[in-house]
Amino acid sequence: MKEVPTGEHAELTFSGKMEMVETDWGEKCSFHITLFSHPSYESIPNEGLETVWESKSSCATQLMSAASEGLPDLTKALKEKWKLIRTPEGTYFLEQL
């Protein structure tokens, strides 16, 4: 997935594997997602776009840590739609819709 521009947001669901991956920029959290809206994509089909979100952000790290605990409420919530928000300062936040 392309980076969310500062001050913007994307809407997504978590659709599969969550794992740590090694990239050219170091280790990152990797989430298979279905993307429903994103300001850097001109057109996304109504059924969404299957892609991967890779991030070193604290919100991605916290989500990976919580997901690894297998909490039933979180497992259920991850099937719902989420908003990935990037503040004007560049910090990422996740908000369940």
Contact 13, 81 (CB under 8 A): yes
Per-residue pLDDT reduced to its tens digit, 15-51: 888 999 999 989 999 999 999 999 999 899 999 999 9
Q: What is the pTM of this model?
A: 0.87
Nearest by Cα to 94 from 5, 2, 12, 27: 12
What's the chain's length in residues? 97
Q: What pLDDT, in 10s, does the model give residues 70-91?
A: 777 777 888 899 999 999 999 9
